[in-house]
Amino acid sequence: MGMVTRILSLLQKDILLELRQKHTFYGILLYIASTIFVLYLSIDKPDANVWNGLFWVIQLFVCVNAVAKSFLQEGRGRMLYFYSIASPVEFIIAKMVYNILLMMLMSLLGLLLFSIFLTNPVNNMFWLTGIVILGGASISIVFTLMSAIAAKAQQNAALIAILGFPVILPQLLLLMRLSKAAFAEIFREGAVMQLALLITGLDVLVIALAVILFPYLWKD
């Protein structure tokens, strides 16, 4: 029970900081809205493949801006304080949960704005919404781990992109392939569930890696 309480306390801390500062939320919201508006002016009615590809590319950049900076904003003094009140596993889990919630919100906002400004070729909006939530969580988990590693490398944000690219690329391709099912006239539930389980399995693997590796980063 103590572990859950500490994780919830760290999660509450991140949420309160974001509600107080609002830098990340409004900055990313402006980025999403302006990017989609430019796309609306450039290509009013994209076909399903273009719509799908553009959506996930934007989600990737949103995640880089929102989630990848989660560890870079933590100063050395603050990290020493967290070291004294929580274990590394509790800290990384709290960060992941916060980033998952943030990215889910941003993904749903992106989907809403995409549907408003660009002609919506989706045939199954219910499934696409679920896929977007899963995709937002998946991308955020990967970049949370990358951010933790980069934060220990002299606060080098460029390292996030270098480390994250080979990990996120297959996941992004799977998400694009999975979301194509929502655009098809004939919905194949079995194939969708297989891909969804594969992506979930990759997420579990990344979480396990984070739980195993982060204590060694934490010691430094």
What is the per-residue pLDDT across 97-117, written as a single tens digit (0 to 9) for each?
Answer: 999 998 999 899 988 988 888
What pLDDT digit, counting tens, does each position of 8-18 carry?
888 888 888 77
pTM value is 0.87
The span from the CA of 219 to the CA of 190, in Å, is 45
- Each residue's pLDDT tens digit, 164-219: 778 888 888 888 888 887 777 565 667 778 888 888 898 999 999 888 888 887 76
Domain assignments of the chain as residue spans, ordered by start: 2-219
Residue 5 predicted with pLDDT over 70: yes
Pick the range with the lowest mean pLDDT from 24-28, 142-146, 216-220.
216-220
Structure confidence by residue, pLDDT tens digits, 45-69: 778 888 888 889 888 888 887 876 6
Q: What is the pLDDT of residue 133?
A: 92
Alpha helices (H) in 43-124, listed in sequence order: 48-66, 76-85, 88-117
Where does the pLDDT of residue 86 fall: very low under 50, low under 70, confident under 90, or very high at 90 and above?
Answer: confident
**Cα dihedral across residues 134, 146, 110, 108: positive or negative:** positive
Residue 22: Cβ within 10 Å count: 11
- Count the Cβ atoms, other than its own, within 10 Å of residue 182: 22
Q: Which is nearest to 102 in space by CA: 10, 15, 36, 5?
A: 15
